[in-house]
Amino acid sequence: MSFGVSFLPDATPTTMSAGDYFAGALEVCEFADRIGFGYVKMTEHYAHPYGGYCPSPLLFLSAVAARTRNIRLMTGGIMASFHHPVQIAAHTAMLDVMSGGRLDAGFARAWLPHEFDLFQVSMDESRARFVETVDAVVDLWTRPGAEAATPFFGYSGVDLLPGCVQRPHPPVWVAAVLSPQSFEWIARRGFGLLVTPGLRGFPALAEMVALYRSTFAEAHAGSGARPRVALSLPLIVADSDAEAVSASDEYLGRYLEVWKSAGEMWNSRTSADYAGYTGVSWMLDNDSPAKMRERTAAVVGGPDSAVEQITRIRQTVDPDVLLWQIDTGAQPASRALTTLRLFADKVQPALSLT
């Protein structure tokens, strides 16, 4: 199991300026590279405190590439339904070249109604548009003279420039949350799976991860390909459990307020492609930092407690990659770096013995 840092900015100009946020995030990425972490992941969102500080994960990861040597650069994820596949393929290939082949291309279907409104994309066609776009990106990376004719875009005879450094293409990851159909599609395509424990917790997540792995094994039997699962969740480690819990009350509480605000958009919206999302804010209204800790939706504690929680996660889901969401609640870089130092010095060595 490898580790990484994950960013989903929830800051606003009143809690942390964009300049301070990115300066701190880049400092954290440099430190993560020095301690041997495998990945840095950044999201894409627009016009809301939930992720809105980063409308372009590729721009952020380009800055990370210039400041680091080894850490892999994961988009987590590009919202494919809002972009033309030629743009995605060319921009990601450019980062792969500039970073010396360190790109991991993660995609997400988007879930915030206002973003679909901004880009004038129908939520009811988001699944079909997403599938067509991701498949087209992979085709553009790998096939000279690529062509496509879909209800959403079309082109012919495209020779992508620049080409990717990694062959046949960068690793592809796709996020899934609720739909078994999504987990099965990701598996059949041979892509890696991006997940979070979310509101439903690890028992429900374990079922979906098992579905992904069994579908992958059936679809790719004898190929040598293997399923890959990357799990993202907040991490707050302190010298003592009490200190970590106190910090998490502030930062997880602030994160939940932003998440609830985003979820409220679903109070008056429905979509056939997003069954189960309508009314999600009512579930979020009942969530709290204590409940997140109780269901291990965040790893919070002193080093010994963190080891115990991560061991339970490994036993339940057995992820290939754990991505620590390190910017939760607009926490300062100093707090994130304290967590990472304690993790590297006291938690990770103990995990290797379990």
Q: Considering the domain boundaries, does residue 109 fall inside one?
A: yes
Q: Is beta strand 299-301 parallel, antiparallel or unpaired with respect to 321-325? A: unpaired
Q: How many CB atoms lie within 10 A of CB 223?
A: 8
Q: Which of 120-124, 172-176, 207-211, 235-239 has the lowest mean pLDDT?
A: 120-124
Confidence band, pLDDT 50/70/90 cuts, at residue 232: very high
For the segment 169-188, the average pLDDT, to the nearest whole number, is 95
Query: Which residues are CB-neighbours of 112 under 8 A, at least 6 positions away?
Result: 45, 48, 50, 262, 265
Q: Considering the domain boundaries, does residue 280 fall inside one?
A: no
Three-state SS sequence of the chain: CEEEEEECCCCCCCCCCHHHHHHHHHHHHHHHHHCCCCEEEECCCCCCCCCCCCCCHHHHHHHHHHHCCCCEEEECCEEHHHCCHHHHHHHHHHHHHHCCCCEEEEEECCCCHHHHHHHCCCHHHHHHHHHHHHHHHHHHHHCCCEEEECCCCEEEEECCCCCCCCCCCCCEEEECCCCHHHHHHHHHHCCEEEECCCCCCHHHHHHHHHHHHHHHHHHCCCCCCCCCEEEEEEEEECCCHHHHHHHHHHHHHHHHHHHHHHHHHHHHCCCHHHCCCCCHHHHHHCCCHHHHHHCCCCEEECHHHHHHHHHHHHHHCCCCEEEEECCHHHCCHHHHHHHHHHHHHHHHHHHCCC
Q: What is the pLDDT, as a whole number, of residue 262?
A: 83
Query: Which residues are CB-neighbours of 329 under 8 A, at least 6 positions away?
Result: 10, 250, 251, 252, 253, 254, 255
Percent of the chain whose predicted confidence (pLDDT) is above 70: 97
Q: Considering the domain boundaries, does residue 263 fall inside one?
A: no
Report the CATH number that the domain containing residue 140 is assigned in CATH: 3.20.20.30
Q: Considering the domain boundaries, does residue 213 fall inside one?
A: yes
Q: What is the pLDDT, as a whole number, of residue 179?
A: 87
Domain count for the chain: 1
For the segment 105-110, the average pLDDT, to the nearest whole number, is 96
Q: What is the pLDDT, as a whole number, of residue 354?
A: 57
What is the number of alpha carbons within 13 Å of residue 294 lying toward its C-beta?
Answer: 7
Tell me the torsion sign for CA atoms 62, 64, 67, 73.
negative
Separation of alpha carbons 40 and 63, rounded Å: 12
Q: Are 170 and 96 in contact (CB under 8 A)?
A: yes
Separation of alpha carbons 55 and 63, rounded Å: 14
Domain span at residue 81 reads 2-247+296-351
Average pLDDT, the chain: 95
288-328, pLDDT tens digit by residue? 999 999 999 999 999 999 999 999 999 999 999 999 999 99
pTM (2 decimals)? 0.95
Q: Considering the domain boundaries, does residue 274 fall inside one?
A: no
16-60, pLDDT tens digit by residue? 999 999 999 999 999 999 999 999 999 999 999 999 999 999 999
Q: What is the pLDDT, as a whole number, of residue 277?
A: 72
Q: Using alpha carbons only, how large is the chain's radius of gyration in Å?
A: 19
Q: How many CB atoms lie within 10 A of CB 106?
A: 26
Instruction: Take residue 289 and report the two structure tokens written for it.
Output: 């930092």
Q: Considering the domain boundaries, does residue 77 fall inside one?
A: yes
Separation of alpha carbons 323 and 340, rounded Å: 12
Tell me the torsion sign for CA atoms 115, 121, 124, 128.
negative
Instruction: Take residue 333 and report the two structure tokens written for it.
Output: 């870089």
> Does residue 113 have a cis bond before it (omega within 30 degrees)?
no
